[in-house]
Amino acid sequence: MRVKKGKEKKTNDEDPVRNFEKWKKKHDKTKKRTKPPKKKREWEIERENIEKLVGRYGQINPKEVIKFSDFPLSQKTLRALLESQYRQPTEIQKQTIGFALQGKDVLGAAKTGSGKTLAFLIPVLECLYRQQWTAVDGLGALIISPTRELAYQTFEVLRKVGKNHDFSAGLVIGGKDLKDESLKIHRTNIIICTPGRLLQHMDENSSFHASDLHMLVLDEADRILDMGFADTVNAIVENLPKTRQTLLFSATQTKSVKDLARLSLKNPEYVWVHEQAKFSTPATLEQSYVVCELHQKVNMLFSFLRSHLQKKIIVFFACCKEVQYLFRVFCRLRPGISVLALHGKQQQMKRVEVYNEFVRKKAAVLFATDIAARGLDFPAVNWVVQFDCPEDANTYIHRVGRTARYKEGGEALLVLLPSEEKGMIAQLQEKKVPINKIQVNPEKLVSVQQKLEAFLAQEKEQKERAQRCFVSYLRSIYLMKNKDVFDVFQLKLPEYATSLGLAVAPRVRFLGKAQKQRETAAQESNTAAESDSDEELKSFKAQLRGDSKPSTQNSQSEEEEDSDEEEEDDSEEEDEDDEEEERDKNTGGLLGTDEEEDDDLRDVDLLTVKQKDVFNVNENEQDEKVNTTSFLSVVQQWPPQQRTIVQDEEEEEEDDEETSGINVEAAKERLRKEDQEFDKKEYTRKIKEKHRVRLAAFLVHVTAENKLFFCFHPTHITPYPGKYEGCAGKKASLSGVTGACLA
C-alpha cells in the first residue's frame, strides 16, 4: 500500500499540466499585487469633480452657509478667494449665489457696500468652468456697467478672483484704442464693458458675435435700463441669444414689467436682502442736511474743507463744468488738503489716474459728478458731501453709498436750497432714509468771494469757465423732471454770479425763452379763466331774467365792442412807443455823436475817482497834462470835455461820486454790456465756424467725385471751381480755414 501511494505521488508531481495551472495562479496573484493602478487624465478628473459639484447644487441652503467653502465651488475659485482675503460671504452673496449656480435668472438688490460684485462674478466663473470654456469658444459671459470707472473696478476684482482659471477677460470701454480691442475681442471669454462701446463693436466688427453667450450680467441695472441707455441696451439685447442666463444687481432694483420683458427673463428669482429693513441705507452711516442759500454754498464748502483737513471726502456736483471751475479755484485757494477732480469730460487715462490716486491717499478731497456715484469702492471714505441736490432719492442713496461700506462707519451731508428742502426731504422719507437737519455756525463761515473776484480779474480763461459754470448749473436745474423740488425761476441769479466771482450774471438764452413761455402760458390761463367766469355770469343773469337761451347777437356785439376797445388801446400804446422813440432819437442827437468820447468817459467812471480832486487840478487848467502813474500808470488829459446840453445833470453826478467813490452800478452796467457783446461775438463766431466746416467738407466731397478745386481766397468774391495751380492760396485740409484752397 505504501509503495503504491508513493508511486501515485510521483506521477502527480510529474504531471506538467497541473504544474502549469498552479504556476499560473501564483503568477496572476503576484501580478495583481505588483501592477500599478491606471492613472486618469486631468480632464477626466475635472469632469468627475464638476459632476460632483453639480450634484450638490440642489442641496444649497443659504441659512447654513458660513464660509465660501460651504458652497459647491471649484478649488481654483476657492483658492483665489482665500488669497484675496474673502472668507465669509455677505447676505446678498449667500442668497443669490445658489440660485445663480442652478442656472436661474436673478434680480438682486441690497444696500450699498454689501458685496454685490462677488455675488455675480463667482457664478460667472463657475458657469464657464462647468462648460470647460476655452479661448476658441469665444464670448461666454458679458458684464455691462453704466460707467467706465465701475467697469474698471469690476475688472480688477475679476483679476483677483479668477487668476487661477484659464479664461481670457477683457475691459471694453470708451477712451481706449478701438483697433486693438477689435483684434482681441473675438477671442475673449469674459467681457466687462460699457453699453456704448459694446454696441460699437457689434456694429463695426464682423468677427465679433455673441451667439454662444451663456450669461448676461447688468450691474446697476436700474441705471442701465433707464431712458439714457434705453436704445443702446435694446440694440445689444437683440444681438444676444434668448437661451442665456441673466443676472441683475443694484442697490435700487427695478420691478418694471417692461424692463424685465425687454431682457426676456424667465421666472426670475427676486432677492431683496434689506426689503424688510427699517432703513434703506447702512446703519453705520450718519446722515444730515443743511439749508443754505445759493450764494453762500461756495463759502460753506471752503469752510467745511478747512475744518476737515485729515479726512477723506467726496463732493458731488450737478455738472462737469461746475467741477472744472471749482476744482481750479480751490486749487488756487489752497484749503490745506489735496484736491482732485473726476468728471466725464476727462480723458480715460486721466480718469483712471485720478481714481487710483484717490484710492491711495489717506486724506484728500474728490470733486466728482455722478459718474462716481454708483458702484465705486473707495476705501476709508469719511465724508460724502452733496454740494448740489440729487435728482431723486435713488441718486441720493447711491451717492452716500460711497462711504460706510461693509460694516465701516461714515458720514453724509446734503446741502439744500430753501426751495428744495420740502420736496426732497419728503422723497427721502418715502425711501426710508433717516436724515437730520443741522445748522451752520455763521462765525466759522469764511468768505472767499473777494479772492475769486481777484482770480477772475487776473485770468480771462477763469472768467469764461465761471460763466460756463453759471450757465451749466442753471441748465441742469432747468432740465430736472421734478419741478416741485427744482425751480430755476426761484434762484437768485445776481447773488449766485457774485458768489462765483463774476461781477455781472451772464446772459442765459434758454432761461429767457422759458420765462417768456411761462408768462404767455400764465396770461392764456388767466384770460381763459376770465372768459369762463364771464360766460357763467351771463348765463346766470339770463336765467334770472327768465331767458333760457341768451341771444348770441348780444354776445357778439359785446365781443365786437371789447375788440374795438382793445384795438384802440393797442393803437394808443403804439403811438406812445413811437413818441418815445422819437424823443430818444432827438436826445441822442443833442448828446453828441462821438462814441469814442463816451467810451473814454465810461472808463474814467469805472477806473478812477475824480482826478481833479485827487491831484488838485484847477478847472482853468484844462489843457495841462497831469501824471497819474500812481493809479493808472498812464499820462492822461484832465478833465475831459463836458457836454453843454446836460451839464447840470453831470455836475450833480460828480458831486455824488465825490462823496461815494466809484460808481459800482455804472461799473456793473458796463461789464454787463461787455459780456453781452462778447457772448454775441462768440455765438456768431461758433455758428460761422460750423457752417464753414460743413461747407468745406461738402466741397471736398464734391471735388473728390468731380475732380474740381474750389478756392476760398479772400481776394475772390465767391468760391469758384478752378485749377489749384492758378490760385494764390495754399492747399489746406478739411478745417475750412478762410483764405485757403480746398482740394
User: What pLDDT, in 10s, does the model give residues 701-726?
Assistant: 555 555 444 444 444 434 444 444 44
In whole angstroms, what is the distance from residue 72 CA to residue 212 CA? 25
Using 50, 70 and 90 to split pLDDT, how confident is the model at 314?
Answer: very high
pLDDT category at 660 given cuts 50, 70, 90 is very low
Task: Inform me whether the pLDDT recorded for 53 exceeds 70.
Answer: yes
Nearest to 147 by CA among 434, 370, 463, 469: 370
Q: Is the pLDDT of residue 593 over 60?
A: no
**Does residue 606 contact residue 667 with C-beta atoms inside 8 Å?**
yes
Q: Work out the percent of the chain whose per-residue pLDDT is above 70.
A: 73
In this structure, the number of other CB atoms found within 10 A of the CB of residue 408 comes to 15
- Whether the per-residue pLDDT at 573 is higher than 50: the answer is no
- Residues 77-126: tens digit of each pLDDT: 999 999 999 999 999 999 999 999 999 999 999 888 889 999 999 999 99
CA–CA dist 61, 46 (Å, integer): 25
Q: Domain 46-272 adopts which CATH fold? A: Rossmann fold (3.40.50)
Contacts of 408 (CB under 8 A, 6+ apart): 113, 284, 380
- Cα 739 to Cα 729: distance, rounded to the nearest angstrom: 6
Q: How far apart are CA 265 and CA 256, in angstroms?
A: 12
534/545 Cα distance (integer angstroms) = 17
531 has a pLDDT exceeding 90: no
Per-residue confidence band for 540, with pLDDT thresholds at 50, 70 and 90: low
3-state secondary structure of 737: coil
83 to 70, 161, 162, 335, 379: CA distances (angstroms) = 17, 9, 11, 40, 19
Q: How far apart are CA 489 and CA 524, in angstroms?
A: 19
Burial class (CB in 10 A: 0-12, 13-18, 19+), 665: exposed
Q: What is the predicted pLDDT for the residue at 632?
A: 37
Q: What is the percent of the chain with per-residue pLDDT over 90, rounded to a whole number?
A: 51
Mean per-residue pLDDT, 444-455:
93
pLDDT > 70? residue 337: yes
Tell me the residue ranges of DSSP E strands in 369-483.
Answer: 383-386, 410-416, 436-437
Q: Which residue has the higher pLDDT, 280 or 594?
A: 280
Sorting pLDDT into bands at 50, 70 and 90, what band is 241?
Answer: very high
Is the pLDDT confidence value at 463 over 90? yes
Tell me the average pLDDT across 634-650: 44
Count other Cβ atoms within 10 Å, centred on residue 513.
10
Please report the pLDDT score of residue 31 as a whole number: 66
Q: What is the pLDDT of residue 151?
A: 95
SS3 state at 437: strand
Q: What's residue 33's pLDDT?
A: 62
Selection from 234-248, 525-539, 629-643 with the highest mean pLDDT: 234-248
- pLDDT at position 512 is 86
Pairwise CA distance, residues 498 & 452, whole Å: 9
Q: What pLDDT, on a 0 to 100 scale, did the predictor assign at position 545?
A: 66
Sheet holding 141-144, edge to edge: 169-172, 190-193, 141-144, 215-219, 245-250, 106-109, 269-272
Does the pLDDT at position 609 exceed 50?
no
Contact 297, 322 (CB under 8 A): no
Q: Are strands 106-109 and 269-272 parallel, antiparallel or unpaired?
A: parallel
pLDDT class of 365 with cuts at 50, 70, 90: very high
Q: CA 105, CA 88: separation in Å to the nearest integer?
A: 24
In this prediction, residue 541 carries a pLDDT of: 67
Helical ranges in 275-379 per DSSP H? 297-306, 320-333, 348-360
Write down the pLDDT at residue 588. Answer: 40
Mean pLDDT of 241-268: 84
Note the pLDDT of residue 589: 39
Residue 607, pLDDT > 50, answer: no
Which pLDDT does position 613 carry in this prediction? 43
CA atoms within 13 A on the CB side of 76: 16
Q: What is the mean pLDDT of residues 428-446?
A: 92
- Predicted confidence at residue 584, as pLDDT, reads 44
What does each C-alpha distance from 539 to 116, 544, 547, 559, 654 come to in angstroms? 68, 9, 9, 15, 65
Phi, psi angles (nearest 5°) of residue 210: -125, 35
pLDDT tops 60 at residue 145: yes
Residue 497: closest CA among 674, 668, 292, 295: 295
- Work out the pLDDT band at 692, boundaries 50, 70, 90: confident
- pLDDT score at 18: 72
| pLDDT for residue 659 | 45
Query: What pLDDT sits at residue 681?
Result: 79
Tens-place pLDDT, residues 383-434: 999 999 999 999 999 999 999 988 889 999 999 999 999 999 999 999 999 9
For 286-343+359-499, the fitting CATH number among 3.40.50.2300, 3.40.50.10260, 3.40.50.300, 3.30.70.20 is: 3.40.50.300
* Residue 411, strand partner residues: 286, 383
According to the model, what pLDDT value does residue 703 have? 52
Listed residue (203, 199, 250, 195) closest to 227, CA to CA: 195
- Give the pLDDT confidence score for residue 519 in this predicted structure: 86
Phi then psi for residue 237, to 5 deg, are -65, -30
Between 265 and 105, residue with greater pLDDT: 105
Across all residues in the chain, what is the average pLDDT? 79
pLDDT given for residue 36 in this prediction? 62
Name every residue whose Cβ is closer than 8 Å to that of residue 212 and which is 6 or more positions away in sequence.
137, 138, 139, 140, 241
